[in-house]
Chains A and B, each alone.
Chain A
Amino acid sequence: MSPMQVAVLQTIVSGALLGTLFGTIALGVTVKWGLLGIADFFHVSLTLFGAYVTYSLVSVAGLHPLATLLVTVPSFFLLGMALQWIFVRLEVKLFTSLLVTFGLFVVAESVITLLWSADTLTLRPVLPEWLTAPVALPWPLQQVRVLPPDLLALVAAIVLIGTTTWALRATRLGRGLHAMHQDPGIAEVFGVRLTRTAVLVAGFAAGTAAVAGMVVALKMPLSPHLPLHWLGVVVVSSLLGGLGRPLGALIAAVFLMIVQNLWALFYSPSWAPVIAFSFLLLYLVLQPLLTGRGLRSLGGAA
């Protein structure tokens, strides 16, 4: 293989793996937006918060990175449930949720700065070698190197998105959620507990943010403004993938990150974020023409 071919392959693989991380972050956003009617920008902040908590648990408390999940997932689950309970109580609707969670998004950056300072923090020095040394992929991609946290991102995405997709189809909670999304009044008359369903789903979404946060902490240096950079990709993937469809969001995120990385390889990297939004614009312009549904779909998956 020529060096250029290797570079392109490497770019595609790294982009795809980064995409799986964004797909995992988008999981919570797309489920809550599409099925609970909560456009949760704060979910992205929660992911970074999870990363910082992981950082502290590993570097200060000396926990094994994977063991931090035993602490972060349950506590985030409770946090997500509490927040949704308040949303239910306040009867937060799609539009108000956008305002409220954007407010929380802004506040979260300040709180994280306050707690952990604005300096860049990295776990890299304290991580064991098996989490930091690049690994060669098997034949025929033996010239491509990936970092273990990227593989962890892939595993997390497969496990979480696989579980969610299955649960939405095959479990009581998933059935109840679909029924509630289509017609809350009917769902309740047929025995679905609306508040409980919404609160459990939100708790689950927050739990996935904790997992994504762990991957983030292992993968990249942390700084409080990261969510601002992620928000575009996460929201665009959720929309492109079809709200309420985690697998769609994952595919969209992987696709977007491959395209962005390739763009950055050949052109100015500073323009790469434009790509995601160009796709979103194209999608928004073309989707009503293609499906004849207009922009109503922004209100949730059909």
Chain B
Amino acid sequence: MSLLRCEGVTKYFGGLRALDGVDLVVDPGEIVGLVGPNGSGKTTLMNAISGTFGINAGRVEFDGTDVTGMRPHQRAHLGIARTFQIPKPLPSLSVIDNVALAYTFGRDQVPMGRARQLAGDLLAELELAGKALAPVAHLNLHERKLLGIARALGLEPRLLLLDEVLAGLNPTEVDLGLAMITAVRDRGVAVIYIEHNVKAVTSISDRLYVLNRGTNLVDGNPRDVVADERVVAAYLGDAHADPA
């Protein structure tokens, strides 16, 4: 059975149709890439899955449970975790306490002392242990993004939503990031991965979805999808898609 099933997800912002009947399926333990031009609705779909806002029509089902009307914290408790395009650590807490927060309030509601231990272990795995006690203000962008992922993993999720976690990083950091996302998948966590860097996302995704103007454009095997002329047209304009 699929882990996540979105059916006909529709979201209006005033008169703007940000999502118009989007379908998406994620199976346990797979990396699903989500790409599309700016404004195609990728982040909106992520918000609809994590529950940041309600949707106008459609249905989101997680592990057989209809979560369409659920609050974000309820979805977090079921095992949906996410990162943000702009990492938003809580400034008054140290790095480790930011991660511990997720353990404390997440799926298992770990007691605070134990949460801190687990957070420490996780930071060590992500090679952030050296900054564990530092205030979040001392982190650079790469480290902030890692913290965002660590915090999401602290919820001990079954589905991890990654929103452009590699944007703004240098090539070495991108490679490390891709290896880490694969490692997360290998732990049995399904991943939806939004990325502008099509090459990066193609290299690690098991399947790829392309959104355009709030609708499904193409989905399937990453290599076939990026070669699809509709995808090229959406990104570059019709002229480039014309084989002539």
Contacts and interface: CB of A to CB of B under 8 A. Distances in A.
Q: State the main secondary structure of chain A at its contact with B.
A: helix
B112 A182 contact: no
A28 B155 CA distance: 32
B142 interface: no
Nearest to A301: B92
Interface in B67-82: 71-73, 76-77, 81-82
The 3 closest A-B pairs by CB, nearest first: A191-B105, A191-B76, A188-B72
B52 A189 contact: yes
B236 interface: no
A167 to B, nearest CB: 12
B188 to A, nearest CB: 20
A183 B88 contact: yes
Contacts of A187: 90, 105
B40 interface: no
In the complex, which of the residues A183, A190, A302 has the most CB atoms of chain B within 10 Å of its own CB atom?
A190
Interface string A19-43: 0000000000000000000000000
Interface residues of A, number: 20
Nearest to B99: A190
Given A178-B92, A186-B88, A190-B155, A170 B112 contact: yes
Interface of B: 50-52, 71-73, 76-77, 81-82, 84, 88, 90-93, 97, 101-102, 104-107, 112, 151, 154-155
Contacts of B50: 189
A176 to B, nearest CB: 6
A145 interface: no
A172 B90 CA distance: 16
In the complex, which of the residues A179, A182, A183, A191 has the most CB atoms of chain B within 10 Å of its own CB atom?
A191
A171 B102 CA distance: 14
Nearest to B107: A191
Interface in A147-188: 170-172, 175-176, 178-179, 182-183, 185-188
A192 B73 contact: yes
A190 B92 contact: no
Nearest to B154: A190
A302 B92 contact: yes
B106 A191 contact: yes
A170 B77 CA distance: 22
